[in-house]
Structure 1
Amino acid sequence: MQIKLEHVTANYKIGPLLKPRVLDDVSLTLNPGRITAVVGSTGAGKSSLLKVCNGLLIPSEGHVTIGSKEINSKTSKQSLKTIRKHIGMVFQFPESQLFAETVGEDIAFGPLNFGTDQRRAEQLARKALQQVGLDESILSKSPFSLSGGQKRRVAIAGVLASEPEVILLDEPTAGLDPAGRKELLTLLKRWHDEEGKTILFVTHDMESTARFAEDVIVMENGSVVYHDAVRPLFENTRQLKEWQLDLPEARRFQLGFEAQSGIHLPHVCLTEKELMDALIEVGCV
Protein backbone atom coordinates (compact mmCIF):
# COMPACT_ATOMS: atom_id res chain seq x y z
CA MET A 1 0.00 0.00 0.00
CA GLN A 2 1.55 3.26 -1.17
CA ILE A 3 1.17 6.54 0.71
CA LYS A 4 1.54 9.70 -1.34
CA LEU A 5 1.28 13.30 -0.17
CA GLU A 6 0.74 15.96 -2.81
CA HIS A 7 1.17 19.62 -1.83
CA VAL A 8 -0.22 18.96 1.66
CA THR A 9 -0.62 21.94 3.95
CA ALA A 10 -2.23 21.43 7.36
CA ASN A 11 -3.13 23.60 10.35
CA TYR A 12 -3.29 22.31 13.91
CA LYS A 13 -6.23 23.55 15.97
CA ILE A 14 -7.29 22.78 19.54
CA GLY A 15 -10.27 24.87 20.63
CA PRO A 16 -9.42 28.53 20.05
CA LEU A 17 -5.70 27.81 19.60
CA LEU A 18 -4.49 27.63 16.01
CA LYS A 19 -1.00 26.70 14.85
CA PRO A 20 -0.93 27.41 11.12
CA ARG A 21 1.02 25.43 8.56
CA VAL A 22 2.37 22.67 10.79
CA LEU A 23 2.81 21.02 7.40
CA ASP A 24 3.75 23.39 4.60
CA ASP A 25 3.28 22.22 0.99
CA VAL A 26 4.61 18.70 1.65
CA SER A 27 4.92 16.33 -1.31
CA LEU A 28 6.44 12.88 -0.93
CA THR A 29 5.85 9.21 -1.68
CA LEU A 30 6.52 6.57 0.98
CA ASN A 31 8.13 3.46 -0.41
CA PRO A 32 5.91 0.43 0.39
CA GLY A 33 7.43 -2.29 2.54
CA ARG A 34 10.20 -0.03 3.86
CA ILE A 35 11.16 1.22 7.32
CA THR A 36 11.32 5.01 7.24
CA ALA A 37 12.43 7.25 10.11
CA VAL A 38 11.14 10.81 10.46
CA VAL A 39 13.64 13.11 12.16
CA GLY A 40 14.08 16.81 12.82
CA SER A 41 14.12 19.32 15.65
CA THR A 42 11.20 19.84 18.03
CA GLY A 43 8.27 21.50 16.25
CA ALA A 44 9.50 20.54 12.78
CA GLY A 45 6.22 18.77 11.91
CA LYS A 46 7.19 15.14 12.47
CA SER A 47 4.12 14.09 14.47
CA SER A 48 1.87 16.12 12.17
CA LEU A 49 3.20 14.14 9.20
CA LEU A 50 2.15 10.89 10.89
CA LYS A 51 -1.28 12.24 11.81
CA VAL A 52 -2.06 13.41 8.30
CA CYS A 53 -1.21 9.92 6.99
CA ASN A 54 -4.12 8.35 8.86
CA GLY A 55 -6.58 11.22 8.88
CA LEU A 56 -6.13 12.44 12.46
CA LEU A 57 -5.02 15.71 10.89
CA ILE A 58 -6.90 16.73 7.74
CA PRO A 59 -5.11 18.71 5.01
CA SER A 60 -6.36 22.24 4.50
CA GLU A 61 -4.74 22.13 1.06
CA GLY A 62 -3.57 19.25 -1.10
CA HIS A 63 -4.38 15.59 -0.44
CA VAL A 64 -3.01 12.28 0.81
CA THR A 65 -3.49 9.15 -1.29
CA ILE A 66 -3.44 5.83 0.57
CA GLY A 67 -3.79 2.92 -1.82
CA SER A 68 -6.94 3.80 -3.74
CA LYS A 69 -8.33 6.09 -1.01
CA GLU A 70 -7.82 9.84 -0.68
CA ILE A 71 -7.76 12.10 2.37
CA ASN A 72 -8.61 15.73 1.73
CA SER A 73 -10.68 18.50 3.32
CA LYS A 74 -13.91 16.78 2.18
CA THR A 75 -13.20 13.18 3.21
CA SER A 76 -16.06 11.63 5.21
CA LYS A 77 -15.70 10.06 8.67
CA GLN A 78 -16.72 6.66 7.25
CA SER A 79 -13.95 6.84 4.65
CA LEU A 80 -11.46 7.74 7.36
CA LYS A 81 -12.48 4.69 9.40
CA THR A 82 -11.89 2.47 6.37
CA ILE A 83 -8.45 4.01 5.88
CA ARG A 84 -7.53 3.55 9.55
CA LYS A 85 -8.21 -0.17 9.24
CA HIS A 86 -5.09 -0.30 7.08
CA ILE A 87 -3.01 2.40 8.82
CA GLY A 88 -2.17 1.58 12.45
CA MET A 89 -1.09 4.44 14.71
CA VAL A 90 0.98 4.08 17.88
CA PHE A 91 1.16 7.32 19.86
CA GLN A 92 3.98 8.48 22.12
CA PHE A 93 3.82 6.65 25.48
CA PRO A 94 1.05 4.32 24.17
CA GLU A 95 0.86 2.50 27.51
CA SER A 96 -1.07 5.49 28.85
CA GLN A 97 -3.92 4.60 26.47
CA LEU A 98 -4.55 1.12 27.88
CA PHE A 99 -8.06 0.93 29.29
CA ALA A 100 -9.58 -2.58 29.34
CA GLU A 101 -9.84 -4.95 32.30
CA THR A 102 -7.61 -7.58 30.70
CA VAL A 103 -4.74 -7.61 28.23
CA GLY A 104 -6.75 -9.81 25.89
CA GLU A 105 -9.67 -7.36 25.81
CA ASP A 106 -7.37 -4.42 25.21
CA ILE A 107 -5.61 -6.03 22.25
CA ALA A 108 -8.85 -7.40 20.73
CA PHE A 109 -10.59 -4.01 20.88
CA GLY A 110 -9.18 -2.82 17.54
CA PRO A 111 -10.27 -5.83 15.46
CA LEU A 112 -13.71 -5.82 17.12
CA ASN A 113 -14.09 -2.12 16.38
CA PHE A 114 -13.42 -2.82 12.70
CA GLY A 115 -16.10 -5.53 12.57
CA THR A 116 -14.15 -8.72 13.27
CA ASP A 117 -16.08 -11.41 15.15
CA GLN A 118 -15.12 -12.28 18.73
CA ARG A 119 -13.40 -15.59 17.98
CA ARG A 120 -11.23 -14.15 15.22
CA ALA A 121 -10.42 -11.08 17.33
CA GLU A 122 -9.14 -13.35 20.11
CA GLN A 123 -6.99 -15.25 17.61
CA LEU A 124 -5.54 -11.99 16.33
CA ALA A 125 -4.85 -10.86 19.90
CA ARG A 126 -2.84 -14.01 20.62
CA LYS A 127 -0.88 -13.63 17.38
CA ALA A 128 -0.11 -9.96 18.06
CA LEU A 129 1.03 -10.76 21.58
CA GLN A 130 3.51 -13.28 20.17
CA GLN A 131 4.71 -10.73 17.63
CA VAL A 132 5.73 -8.33 20.39
CA GLY A 133 7.48 -11.09 22.34
CA LEU A 134 4.99 -11.62 25.17
CA ASP A 135 3.54 -14.89 26.44
CA GLU A 136 -0.16 -15.76 26.11
CA SER A 137 -0.29 -16.30 29.87
CA ILE A 138 -0.75 -12.56 30.41
CA LEU A 139 -3.94 -12.36 28.29
CA SER A 140 -6.12 -12.67 31.38
CA LYS A 141 -4.08 -10.22 33.46
CA SER A 142 -4.89 -6.57 34.01
CA PRO A 143 -2.71 -4.42 31.75
CA PHE A 144 -2.12 -2.14 34.73
CA SER A 145 -0.35 -4.94 36.60
CA LEU A 146 2.39 -5.17 33.97
CA SER A 147 5.79 -3.51 33.87
CA GLY A 148 6.25 -0.34 31.84
CA GLY A 149 7.97 -2.20 29.01
CA GLN A 150 5.27 -4.86 28.90
CA LYS A 151 2.54 -2.20 28.82
CA ARG A 152 4.16 -0.58 25.79
CA ARG A 153 4.36 -3.92 24.00
CA VAL A 154 0.70 -4.63 24.77
CA ALA A 155 -0.26 -1.23 23.37
CA ILE A 156 1.67 -1.94 20.17
CA ALA A 157 0.11 -5.42 19.98
CA GLY A 158 -3.29 -3.70 20.06
CA VAL A 159 -2.37 -1.94 16.82
CA LEU A 160 -0.82 -5.01 15.17
CA ALA A 161 -3.94 -7.07 15.94
CA SER A 162 -5.91 -5.11 13.34
CA GLU A 163 -3.40 -6.35 10.72
CA PRO A 164 -2.57 -2.93 9.28
CA GLU A 165 -0.67 -2.58 6.01
CA VAL A 166 1.22 0.36 7.49
CA ILE A 167 2.16 1.14 11.08
CA LEU A 168 2.94 4.68 12.20
CA LEU A 169 4.83 5.15 15.48
CA ASP A 170 5.40 8.46 17.23
CA GLU A 171 8.58 8.21 19.32
CA PRO A 172 8.08 4.48 20.07
CA THR A 173 11.22 4.29 22.22
CA ALA A 174 10.64 7.49 24.25
CA GLY A 175 11.56 6.96 27.91
CA LEU A 176 13.29 3.62 27.32
CA ASP A 177 16.92 2.91 28.12
CA PRO A 178 19.31 1.93 25.26
CA ALA A 179 18.67 -1.79 25.79
CA GLY A 180 14.90 -1.24 25.81
CA ARG A 181 15.09 0.86 22.64
CA LYS A 182 17.08 -1.79 20.82
CA GLU A 183 14.79 -4.59 21.99
CA LEU A 184 11.59 -2.82 20.92
CA LEU A 185 12.91 -1.76 17.52
CA THR A 186 14.26 -5.27 16.91
CA LEU A 187 10.76 -6.65 17.53
CA LEU A 188 9.24 -4.13 15.12
CA LYS A 189 11.84 -4.92 12.47
CA ARG A 190 11.10 -8.63 12.85
CA TRP A 191 7.40 -7.88 12.30
CA HIS A 192 8.33 -5.85 9.23
CA ASP A 193 10.56 -8.62 7.85
CA GLU A 194 7.99 -11.37 8.46
CA GLU A 195 4.91 -9.48 7.26
CA GLY A 196 6.49 -7.26 4.57
CA LYS A 197 4.61 -4.22 5.89
CA THR A 198 5.54 -0.54 5.93
CA ILE A 199 6.79 1.20 9.09
CA LEU A 200 7.06 4.97 9.53
CA PHE A 201 8.43 6.10 12.89
CA VAL A 202 9.25 9.47 14.43
CA THR A 203 12.41 9.60 16.49
CA HIS A 204 14.99 11.97 17.97
CA ASP A 205 17.44 9.06 18.32
CA MET A 206 19.84 9.00 15.37
CA GLU A 207 21.36 5.75 16.64
CA SER A 208 17.99 4.05 16.11
CA THR A 209 17.67 5.73 12.71
CA ALA A 210 21.06 4.44 11.60
CA ARG A 211 20.48 0.89 12.85
CA PHE A 212 16.87 0.21 11.92
CA ALA A 213 15.65 2.58 9.21
CA GLU A 214 16.13 2.04 5.48
CA ASP A 215 14.93 5.50 4.44
CA VAL A 216 14.76 8.76 6.34
CA ILE A 217 12.69 11.93 6.14
CA VAL A 218 14.17 15.11 7.62
CA MET A 219 11.67 17.83 8.47
CA GLU A 220 12.23 21.50 9.19
CA ASN A 221 9.55 24.14 9.83
CA GLY A 222 6.78 21.91 8.49
CA SER A 223 8.61 21.07 5.26
CA VAL A 224 10.50 18.01 4.05
CA VAL A 225 14.14 18.94 3.41
CA TYR A 226 15.45 15.40 2.84
CA HIS A 227 13.84 12.11 1.82
CA ASP A 228 16.20 9.37 0.73
CA ALA A 229 18.14 6.34 1.93
CA VAL A 230 19.72 6.49 5.37
CA ARG A 231 23.39 6.09 4.50
CA PRO A 232 23.75 9.18 2.26
CA LEU A 233 22.27 11.31 5.05
CA PHE A 234 25.30 10.67 7.26
CA GLU A 235 27.83 11.55 4.55
CA ASN A 236 27.19 15.29 4.76
CA THR A 237 28.17 16.22 8.32
CA ARG A 238 27.91 19.96 7.64
CA GLN A 239 24.28 19.62 6.58
CA LEU A 240 23.49 17.44 9.60
CA LYS A 241 24.86 20.16 11.86
CA GLU A 242 22.64 22.77 10.17
CA TRP A 243 19.62 20.51 10.75
CA GLN A 244 20.73 19.97 14.40
CA LEU A 245 20.97 16.21 13.94
CA ASP A 246 23.48 14.03 15.77
CA LEU A 247 25.77 11.40 14.33
CA PRO A 248 25.50 7.73 15.35
CA GLU A 249 28.39 6.58 17.52
CA ALA A 250 30.08 4.46 14.84
CA ARG A 251 30.05 7.32 12.32
CA ARG A 252 31.44 9.74 14.92
CA PHE A 253 34.28 7.31 15.71
CA GLN A 254 34.96 6.88 11.98
CA LEU A 255 35.32 10.62 11.39
CA GLY A 256 37.64 10.98 14.40
CA PHE A 257 39.77 8.05 13.25
CA GLU A 258 40.03 9.41 9.71
CA ALA A 259 41.00 12.88 10.94
CA GLN A 260 43.75 11.56 13.24
CA SER A 261 45.14 8.79 11.03
CA GLY A 262 44.69 10.28 7.57
CA ILE A 263 43.25 6.93 6.50
CA HIS A 264 39.83 7.08 4.89
CA LEU A 265 37.57 4.08 5.34
CA PRO A 266 35.91 2.69 2.19
CA HIS A 267 32.33 3.57 3.14
CA VAL A 268 30.15 5.34 5.69
CA CYS A 269 29.92 3.18 8.84
CA LEU A 270 26.68 3.20 10.82
CA THR A 271 27.20 0.27 13.20
CA GLU A 272 30.07 -1.24 15.15
CA LYS A 273 30.16 -4.24 12.80
CA GLU A 274 30.41 -2.04 9.73
CA LEU A 275 33.18 -0.07 11.42
CA MET A 276 35.13 -3.19 12.33
CA ASP A 277 34.77 -4.63 8.81
CA ALA A 278 35.98 -1.35 7.28
CA LEU A 279 39.00 -1.20 9.63
CA ILE A 280 39.91 -4.78 8.71
CA GLU A 281 39.57 -3.93 5.01
CA VAL A 282 42.15 -1.11 5.26
CA GLY A 283 44.47 -3.26 7.40
CA CYS A 284 44.07 -1.39 10.67
CA VAL A 285 42.90 -4.38 12.72
Structure 2
Amino acid sequence: MEIIFDNVSADFQIGPIRSPLVLHSVHLKIKTGTFTAVVGHTGAGKSSLLKAMNGLLIPKEGKVLVGKKIIDSRRNKKDIKVIRQKVGMVFQFPESQLFAETVEKDICFGPVNFGVPEKLAKEIARNVIKMVGLDNDILFKSPFSLSGGQKRRVAIAGVLAMEPDILILDEPGAGLDPQGKKDILTLLKNWNQDRGMTIVLVTHDMNDVALYADDVIIMEKGRVAAHTETRTLFSNNELLNQYSLDVPDVRRLQMKIEKEIGLTFPHVCLSVEDLAEALIEGGVV
Protein backbone atom coordinates (compact mmCIF):
# COMPACT_ATOMS: atom_id res chain seq x y z
CA MET A 1 0.00 0.00 0.00
CA GLU A 2 1.94 3.01 -1.32
CA ILE A 3 1.37 6.60 -0.22
CA ILE A 4 1.46 9.09 -3.08
CA PHE A 5 1.16 12.87 -2.83
CA ASP A 6 0.15 14.38 -6.16
CA ASN A 7 0.72 18.17 -6.11
CA VAL A 8 -0.80 18.54 -2.63
CA SER A 9 -1.32 21.94 -1.05
CA ALA A 10 -3.22 22.37 2.20
CA ASP A 11 -4.18 24.95 4.80
CA PHE A 12 -4.66 24.18 8.47
CA GLN A 13 -7.64 25.73 10.23
CA ILE A 14 -9.35 25.29 13.60
CA GLY A 15 -12.14 27.81 14.12
CA PRO A 16 -10.76 31.31 13.41
CA ILE A 17 -7.13 30.13 13.54
CA ARG A 18 -5.79 29.52 10.05
CA SER A 19 -2.30 28.66 8.86
CA PRO A 20 -2.08 28.95 5.07
CA LEU A 21 -0.08 26.50 2.99
CA VAL A 22 1.22 24.22 5.72
CA LEU A 23 1.79 21.98 2.70
CA HIS A 24 2.72 23.50 -0.64
CA SER A 25 2.81 21.63 -3.98
CA VAL A 26 3.98 18.37 -2.42
CA HIS A 27 4.96 15.54 -4.76
CA LEU A 28 5.98 12.37 -2.95
CA LYS A 29 5.89 8.57 -3.11
CA ILE A 30 6.47 6.37 -0.07
CA LYS A 31 6.89 2.75 -1.10
CA THR A 32 5.24 -0.18 0.64
CA GLY A 33 7.33 -1.75 3.40
CA THR A 34 9.79 1.12 3.85
CA PHE A 35 10.86 2.83 7.09
CA THR A 36 10.90 6.56 6.41
CA ALA A 37 12.00 9.39 8.71
CA VAL A 38 10.61 12.90 8.24
CA VAL A 39 12.96 15.66 9.40
CA GLY A 40 13.13 19.45 9.32
CA HIS A 41 12.89 22.44 11.62
CA THR A 42 9.85 23.36 13.72
CA GLY A 43 7.09 24.63 11.44
CA ALA A 44 8.57 22.97 8.34
CA GLY A 45 5.40 20.92 7.74
CA LYS A 46 6.41 17.54 9.19
CA SER A 47 3.30 16.91 11.28
CA SER A 48 1.07 18.32 8.52
CA LEU A 49 2.55 15.77 6.12
CA LEU A 50 1.64 12.95 8.50
CA LYS A 51 -1.90 14.26 9.04
CA ALA A 52 -2.47 14.41 5.28
CA MET A 53 -1.67 10.70 5.07
CA ASN A 54 -4.76 9.62 7.00
CA GLY A 55 -7.22 12.39 6.21
CA LEU A 56 -6.80 14.56 9.29
CA LEU A 57 -5.63 17.28 6.92
CA ILE A 58 -7.57 17.59 3.66
CA PRO A 59 -5.82 18.98 0.55
CA LYS A 60 -7.24 22.14 -0.93
CA GLU A 61 -5.38 21.25 -4.14
CA GLY A 62 -4.08 17.95 -5.45
CA LYS A 63 -4.71 14.55 -3.89
CA VAL A 64 -3.21 11.93 -1.61
CA LEU A 65 -3.50 8.31 -2.68
CA VAL A 66 -3.25 5.57 -0.06
CA GLY A 67 -3.36 2.36 -2.03
CA LYS A 68 -6.39 2.85 -4.27
CA LYS A 69 -8.18 5.24 -1.91
CA ILE A 70 -8.09 8.99 -2.54
CA ILE A 71 -8.02 11.95 -0.17
CA ASP A 72 -8.87 15.21 -1.91
CA SER A 73 -11.01 18.33 -1.51
CA ARG A 74 -14.19 16.37 -2.25
CA ARG A 75 -13.83 14.67 1.17
CA ASN A 76 -15.07 11.18 0.34
CA LYS A 77 -16.00 10.16 3.89
CA LYS A 78 -16.21 6.46 3.04
CA ASP A 79 -12.67 6.42 1.62
CA ILE A 80 -11.31 8.42 4.55
CA LYS A 81 -12.83 5.99 7.06
CA VAL A 82 -11.16 3.06 5.28
CA ILE A 83 -7.87 4.97 5.13
CA ARG A 84 -7.94 5.70 8.87
CA GLN A 85 -8.30 1.99 9.52
CA LYS A 86 -5.33 1.19 7.29
CA VAL A 87 -3.13 4.16 8.28
CA GLY A 88 -2.69 4.17 12.04
CA MET A 89 -1.48 7.47 13.47
CA VAL A 90 0.33 7.82 16.79
CA PHE A 91 0.46 11.42 17.96
CA GLN A 92 3.24 13.01 19.99
CA PHE A 93 2.70 12.05 23.66
CA PRO A 94 -0.13 9.62 22.68
CA GLU A 95 -0.48 8.49 26.31
CA SER A 96 -2.35 11.75 26.94
CA GLN A 97 -5.20 10.21 24.94
CA LEU A 98 -5.60 7.24 27.29
CA PHE A 99 -8.94 7.51 29.04
CA ALA A 100 -10.53 4.15 29.94
CA GLU A 101 -10.67 2.39 33.30
CA THR A 102 -8.41 -0.43 32.13
CA VAL A 103 -5.78 -0.93 29.45
CA GLU A 104 -7.99 -3.59 27.85
CA LYS A 105 -10.94 -1.21 27.48
CA ASP A 106 -8.66 1.46 26.05
CA ILE A 107 -7.27 -0.87 23.39
CA CYS A 108 -10.69 -2.32 22.57
CA PHE A 109 -12.29 1.09 22.04
CA GLY A 110 -11.15 1.53 18.44
CA PRO A 111 -12.10 -1.92 17.10
CA VAL A 112 -15.48 -1.89 18.89
CA ASN A 113 -16.16 1.60 17.51
CA PHE A 114 -15.60 0.19 14.02
CA GLY A 115 -18.03 -2.67 14.58
CA VAL A 116 -15.78 -5.45 15.89
CA PRO A 117 -17.60 -7.69 18.44
CA GLU A 118 -16.40 -7.21 22.01
CA LYS A 119 -15.15 -10.81 22.35
CA LEU A 120 -13.00 -10.48 19.23
CA ALA A 121 -11.80 -7.03 20.31
CA LYS A 122 -10.53 -8.52 23.59
CA GLU A 123 -8.67 -11.20 21.64
CA ILE A 124 -7.11 -8.48 19.49
CA ALA A 125 -6.09 -6.63 22.68
CA ARG A 126 -4.30 -9.73 23.95
CA ASN A 127 -2.42 -10.04 20.66
CA VAL A 128 -1.33 -6.41 20.32
CA ILE A 129 -0.23 -6.07 23.94
CA LYS A 130 2.30 -8.84 23.21
CA MET A 131 3.36 -7.03 20.03
CA VAL A 132 4.41 -4.01 22.08
CA GLY A 133 6.34 -6.18 24.53
CA LEU A 134 3.97 -6.11 27.51
CA ASP A 135 2.42 -8.98 29.49
CA ASN A 136 -1.27 -9.82 29.40
CA ASP A 137 -1.78 -8.99 33.08
CA ILE A 138 -1.28 -5.30 32.28
CA LEU A 139 -4.61 -5.38 30.38
CA PHE A 140 -6.51 -5.25 33.66
CA LYS A 141 -4.59 -2.36 35.17
CA SER A 142 -5.48 1.31 34.98
CA PRO A 143 -3.45 2.98 32.20
CA PHE A 144 -2.80 5.85 34.60
CA SER A 145 -0.87 3.58 36.96
CA LEU A 146 1.75 2.73 34.33
CA SER A 147 5.19 4.17 33.68
CA GLY A 148 5.75 6.61 30.82
CA GLY A 149 7.22 3.94 28.57
CA GLN A 150 4.39 1.52 29.33
CA LYS A 151 1.78 4.18 28.58
CA ARG A 152 3.46 4.89 25.24
CA ARG A 153 3.36 1.19 24.37
CA VAL A 154 -0.29 0.90 25.37
CA ALA A 155 -1.17 3.90 23.21
CA ILE A 156 0.63 2.32 20.25
CA ALA A 157 -1.14 -0.98 20.97
CA GLY A 158 -4.47 0.85 20.67
CA VAL A 159 -3.50 1.94 17.15
CA LEU A 160 -2.23 -1.54 16.24
CA ALA A 161 -5.57 -2.98 17.34
CA MET A 162 -7.05 -1.43 14.20
CA GLU A 163 -4.69 -3.69 12.22
CA PRO A 164 -3.18 -0.93 10.05
CA ASP A 165 -0.95 -1.61 7.06
CA ILE A 166 0.85 1.69 7.61
CA LEU A 167 1.93 3.21 10.92
CA ILE A 168 2.74 6.92 11.12
CA LEU A 169 4.18 8.43 14.28
CA ASP A 170 4.98 11.96 15.42
CA GLU A 171 8.13 11.90 17.60
CA PRO A 172 7.45 8.45 19.15
CA GLY A 173 10.45 8.79 21.48
CA ALA A 174 9.53 12.23 22.85
CA GLY A 175 9.67 12.48 26.64
CA LEU A 176 11.07 8.97 27.14
CA ASP A 177 14.40 8.10 28.72
CA PRO A 178 17.06 6.83 26.26
CA GLN A 179 16.34 3.15 26.95
CA GLY A 180 12.58 3.65 26.63
CA LYS A 181 13.04 5.43 23.31
CA LYS A 182 15.39 2.71 22.05
CA ASP A 183 12.87 0.02 23.01
CA ILE A 184 10.05 1.74 21.11
CA LEU A 185 12.12 2.36 17.98
CA THR A 186 13.48 -1.19 18.00
CA LEU A 187 9.92 -2.52 18.14
CA LEU A 188 8.99 -0.35 15.16
CA LYS A 189 12.01 -1.54 13.17
CA ASN A 190 11.17 -5.17 13.95
CA TRP A 191 7.59 -4.73 12.72
CA ASN A 192 8.93 -3.10 9.58
CA GLN A 193 11.41 -5.91 8.89
CA ASP A 194 9.43 -8.93 10.09
CA ARG A 195 5.88 -7.94 9.16
CA GLY A 196 6.54 -5.65 6.19
CA MET A 197 4.70 -2.80 7.93
CA THR A 198 5.28 0.60 6.35
CA ILE A 199 6.57 3.02 9.01
CA VAL A 200 6.72 6.80 8.70
CA LEU A 201 7.90 8.85 11.66
CA VAL A 202 8.83 12.41 12.48
CA THR A 203 12.01 12.85 14.50
CA HIS A 204 14.59 15.51 15.32
CA ASP A 205 17.23 12.96 16.34
CA MET A 206 19.65 12.19 13.52
CA ASN A 207 21.03 9.23 15.48
CA ASP A 208 17.59 7.63 15.29
CA VAL A 209 17.40 8.40 11.57
CA ALA A 210 20.78 6.74 10.98
CA LEU A 211 19.97 3.62 13.00
CA TYR A 212 16.40 2.90 11.93
CA ALA A 213 15.33 4.65 8.72
CA ASP A 214 15.75 3.42 5.15
CA ASP A 215 14.75 6.75 3.62
CA VAL A 216 14.56 10.37 4.75
CA ILE A 217 12.19 13.18 3.78
CA ILE A 218 13.41 16.72 4.50
CA MET A 219 10.59 19.23 4.92
CA GLU A 220 11.14 22.96 4.48
CA LYS A 221 8.39 25.62 4.51
CA GLY A 222 5.67 23.10 3.68
CA ARG A 223 7.57 21.58 0.77
CA VAL A 224 9.53 18.37 0.30
CA ALA A 225 13.07 19.70 0.00
CA ALA A 226 14.59 16.23 -0.49
CA HIS A 227 13.61 12.56 -0.39
CA THR A 228 16.60 10.26 -0.37
CA GLU A 229 18.12 7.10 1.09
CA THR A 230 19.52 7.55 4.59
CA ARG A 231 23.10 6.64 3.70
CA THR A 232 22.97 9.01 0.72
CA LEU A 233 21.79 11.87 2.94
CA PHE A 234 24.61 11.49 5.44
CA SER A 235 27.20 11.36 2.66
CA ASN A 236 25.97 14.72 1.31
CA ASN A 237 27.50 17.41 3.51
CA GLU A 238 26.19 20.16 1.24
CA LEU A 239 22.59 19.02 1.76
CA LEU A 240 23.10 18.61 5.52
CA ASN A 241 24.55 22.11 5.79
CA GLN A 242 21.87 23.64 3.58
CA TYR A 243 19.10 22.48 5.93
CA SER A 244 21.16 22.69 9.15
CA LEU A 245 20.81 19.00 9.94
CA ASP A 246 23.05 17.37 12.53
CA VAL A 247 25.42 14.56 11.66
CA PRO A 248 24.86 11.28 13.58
CA ASP A 249 27.43 10.51 16.27
CA VAL A 250 28.91 7.52 14.43
CA ARG A 251 29.23 9.45 11.18
CA ARG A 252 30.92 12.33 13.04
CA LEU A 253 33.40 9.89 14.61
CA GLN A 254 34.04 8.32 11.20
CA MET A 255 34.86 11.73 9.70
CA LYS A 256 37.22 12.50 12.60
CA ILE A 257 39.07 9.19 12.19
CA GLU A 258 39.31 9.65 8.42
CA LYS A 259 40.83 13.11 8.93
CA GLU A 260 43.38 11.88 11.47
CA ILE A 261 44.58 8.85 9.46
CA GLY A 262 44.25 10.41 6.02
CA LEU A 263 42.05 7.62 4.73
CA THR A 264 38.49 7.75 3.37
CA PHE A 265 36.37 4.66 4.02
CA PRO A 266 34.43 3.26 1.04
CA HIS A 267 30.99 3.97 2.55
CA VAL A 268 29.20 6.08 5.14
CA CYS A 269 28.96 4.35 8.52
CA LEU A 270 25.59 4.61 10.28
CA SER A 271 26.17 2.29 13.26
CA VAL A 272 28.99 1.23 15.57
CA GLU A 273 29.02 -2.13 13.78
CA ASP A 274 29.40 -0.37 10.41
CA LEU A 275 32.34 1.65 11.72
CA ALA A 276 34.05 -1.36 13.29
CA GLU A 277 33.85 -3.28 10.00
CA ALA A 278 35.20 -0.29 8.07
CA LEU A 279 38.16 0.03 10.47
CA ILE A 280 38.97 -3.67 10.07
CA GLU A 281 38.61 -3.61 6.28
CA GLY A 282 40.82 -0.51 6.10
CA GLY A 283 43.50 -2.19 8.17
CA VAL A 284 43.25 0.47 10.86
CA VAL A 285 42.74 -2.06 13.67
For normalisation by structure 1, the TM-score amounts to: 0.98
Q: Which residue in 1 is equivalent to 2:189?
A: 189
Offset at residue 81 of structure 1 (A)? 1.3
Q: Which residue in 2 is equivalent to 1:178?
A: 178
Aligned pair 1:2/2:5, yes or no? no
Aligned pair 1:262/2:262, yes or no? yes
Offset at residue 77 of structure 1 (A)? 2.8
What SS does the aligned partner of 2:140 have?
coil
User: Residue type matched to 1:236 in 2?
Assistant: N
Deviations 1:38-80 (A, max 9, x none): 0011111000000000000000100001111100011233331
Q: Which residue in 2 is equivalent to 1:160?
A: 160
Offset at residue 193 of structure 1 (A)? 2.3
Q: Which residue in 2 is equivalent to 1:115?
A: 115
Identity within the alignment, %: 56
User: Counterparts of 2:191 and 2:97 in 1: how far apart (Å)?
Assistant: 22
User: Residue type matched to 1:122 in 2?
Assistant: K
Determine if contact 1:132/1:188 at 8 Å carries over to the other structure: no
User: Residue type matched to 2:58 in 1?
Assistant: I
User: Counterparts of 2:243 and 2:55 in 1: how far apart (Å)?
Assistant: 28
What SS does the aligned partner of 2:277 have?
helix
Determine if contact 1:23/1:48 at 8 Å carries over to the other structure: yes
- Aligned pairs for 1:240-259 (under 5 A) are 240-259=240-259
User: Counterparts of 1:176 and 1:239 in 2: how far apart (Å)?
Assistant: 30
Deviations 1:222-257 (A, max 9, x none): 110111211000011132022111111110001111
Aligned pair 1:207/2:207, yes or no? yes
Q: Which residue in 2 is equivalent to 1:141?
A: 141
Q: Which residue in 1 is equivalent to 2:89?
A: 89
User: Residue type matched to 2:178 in 1?
Assistant: P
For normalisation by structure 2, the TM-score amounts to: 0.98
What SS does the aligned partner of 2:169 have?
strand
Offset at residue 165 of structure 1 (A)? 0.6
What SS does the aligned partner of 1:175 have?
coil
What SS does the aligned partner of 1:151 have?
helix
User: Counterparts of 2:12 and 2:153 in 1: how far apart (Å)?
Assistant: 29
Determine if contact 1:103/1:143 at 8 Å carries over to the other structure: yes
Q: Which residue in 1 is equivalent to 2:28?
A: 28
Structure 1 outlier segments of 4+, above 6 Å: none
User: Counterparts of 2:191 and 2:280 in 1: how far apart (Å)?
Assistant: 33
User: Counterparts of 2:76 and 2:235 in 1: how far apart (Å)?
Assistant: 44
What SS does the aligned partner of 1:264 have?
coil
Two-structure CA RMSD over aligned residues (Å): 0.9
User: Counterparts of 1:241 and 1:175 in 2: how far apart (Å)?
Assistant: 27
Offset at residue 173 of structure 1 (A)? 0.5
Deviations 1:161-201 (A, max 9, x none): 11101011000001122222211100111222232110100
What SS does the aligned partner of 2:280 have?
helix
Q: Which residue in 1 is equivalent to 2:66?
A: 66
Consecutive unaligned residues of structure 1, counting only runs of 5 or more, are none
Count residues in correspondence: 285
Q: Which residue in 2 is equivalent to 1:281?
A: 281
Determine if contact 2:148/2:176 at 8 Å carries over to the other structure: no
